[in-house]
Amino acid sequence: MKAAITNLSKQNPLLLAAGAALLVYVVYSLARKTITDVAKGAGGVVSGNNALTRGTPYQDAGVLGTLGAATNTVLGGVPQRVGESVGGWIYDLLHSDDAP
């Protein structure tokens, strides 16, 4: 460790500062992009508007909608089909076609 510090003190301070600045910039750029992506993804999960829920009845239903869409996907769409069937049956029961 002492040898590394002794060797470091023999280096050009401008080059060391430039290298440190470049390292800080690269780390900052990578962290900013990652943080932005994480924030966008978290916002989609919370709002229920994400790739998993888009185009399904679970869209815009918040965290529970995202959880429901994930469950629906894992189970091959069975929960959605059952819900649509039960909902259609209830609608048909309450809205007869014999209305005057």
Query: Residue 70: which residues within 8 A CB-CB, separation 6 or more?
Result: 52
Residue 100 resides in a domain: no
Structural domain for 65, as ranges = 2-94
Q: What is the pLDDT of residues 47-81, one digit of tens each?
A: 778 888 888 888 888 888 888 888 888 888 898 89
Residue 77 resides in a domain: yes
**Distance of alpha carbon 76 from alpha carbon 36, whole angstroms:** 32
Residue 75 resides in a domain: yes
Residue 62 resides in a domain: yes
Confidence of residue 22 (pLDDT cuts 50, 70, 90): confident
Number of structural domains, the chain? 1
Residue 61 resides in a domain: yes
Residue 44 tokens, joined: 């989609």
Residue 80 resides in a domain: yes
pLDDT at 8: 64
Query: Residue 64: which residues within 8 A CB-CB, separation 6 or more?
Result: 48
pLDDT at 79: 87
pLDDT at 38: 64
In degrees and rounded to multiples of 5, residue 12 shows phi and psi of -70, 120
